[in-house]
Amino acid sequence: MYLADEAWPDLETYFAEESLAIVPLGSTEQHGPHLPLATDHLIAEGLAREAAERSGYLCTPTVNVGVSPHHRQFHGTMWVDAPEFRDYVESFTRNLTYHGIDRVVYVNAHGGNVEHLQEVGRRLHADETAFCVEWMWDESIPDLVDDLFEHNGPHGGPKETAMIQHLRPELVHDDRLDDAAEGGVREFEKYFAGEVEPEGRPPMVNGARTFYDARDNSENGVFGDQTDATAAKGAELFDAASEQLVQLCEWLADADYEALMPADHV
């Protein structure tokens, strides 16, 4: 069920019988020369809507702009500062609890949102308002991702490319895949392990991270080998991650609420 499509009288039964909401969140930021700025929020919304369709749980509208200042040097990237993002997410989550929701799955497809969604969940858990979890699609199926791609990457790489090829193929510039791989960091893990000579300063020095922005490491903003992506692989990723999300929602909906709340002081 998609909340925004419903008339308010038709939501009464859901709120009377269910207590879980699925909230998709992403970003509007550069994803290399080949993918749209909408990549993250398209993936988050696609997975959230699919899980809602399969399970019957409520899906809210998508939060399209996230914490993305580390991509600011690339044209069109949008972001909000972290404190405002946290406060906004906390505020609308408290709004959901007013209607009877007491557990939320944040379906997140942007790495820059992770720690902030977890902090919101901690706040709402501490005052026993709701139990909220942050879920990243690729972290739910790591073995499949590794099996499908030889050179993966955390941003604009083959897994995100494949997902958009599956979800919105008309937005993928397939003629730029070679340029994306050649102009970015193709062997991401070796690069950060110091096994690939960087053009500028190394990303890590004696355990300290030396960068703040994506462009410090990647000239075109991406990591991994995008030429390894296909729509068929994207469909496989999408189906597997959707099933993981449904199972998470079912577990959370069935959990005893008191057992989810903070333990007593020792």
| pLDDT digit string, tens, across residues 193-216 | 667 776 677 888 888 888 888 888
Q: Tell me the per-residue pLDDT of 89-113, one tens digit each, with 9 for 90 and over.
A: 999 999 999 999 999 999 999 999 9
**pLDDT tier for residue 189 given thresholds of 50, 70 and 90:** confident
Whole-number pLDDT of residue 61: 98
* 146 in Cβ contact with 76 (< 8 Å): no
Confidence of residue 192 (pLDDT cuts 50, 70, 90): low
pLDDT given at position 125: 98
Alpha carbon distances (Å) from 119 to 106, 185, 196: 12, 31, 35
The pTM (predicted TM-score) of the whole model is: 0.94
pLDDT at position 195 is 72
Residue 163 clears pLDDT 90, i.e. is over it: yes
Mean pLDDT throughout 112-135? 98
Structural domains in the chain plus CATH codes:
3-214+222-260 (3.40.50.10310)
* Mean pLDDT estimate for the chain: 94
- Which tokens is 224 given? 């991994």
pLDDT of residue 245: 98
Q: What is the pLDDT of residues 76-87, one digit of tens each?
A: 999 999 999 999
Evaluate if residue 188 carries a pLDDT over 90.
no
The percent helix, strand, coil of the chain (3-state, each to 5) is 50, 10, 35
* Beta-sheet strands, E only, within the chain: 20-25, 58-59, 103-108, 131-136, 204-205, 208-209
pLDDT band at 171 (very low <50, low <70, confident <90, very high): very high
Give pLDDT, residue 58.
98
Question: Distance (Å, rounded) from C-alpha 164 to C-alpha 26?
Answer: 14
In angstroms, the Cα distances linking 73 to 32, 33, 95, 150 are 12, 14, 35, 29
Q: Report which of 65, 93, 92 is spatially closest to residue 80, judged by C-alpha positions.
A: 65
**Structure-model confidence comparison of residues 44 and 211, the more confident one:** 44
Distance, CA of 126 to CA of 194 (rounded, Å): 41
The 3 state secondary structure assigned to 111-136 is HHHHHHHHHHHHHHHHCCCCEEEEEE
Residue 130, token pair as written in the block: 């709701």
Q: Enter the tokens of residue 205.
A: 């020095």
- Residue 265 to residues 198, 218, 229, 262, Cα–Cα distance (Å): 50, 47, 50, 9
What is the DSSP secondary structure assignment for residue 207, as one 8-state letter? T
pLDDT digits (tens, 9 = 90+) for 6-32: 999 999 999 999 999 999 999 999 999
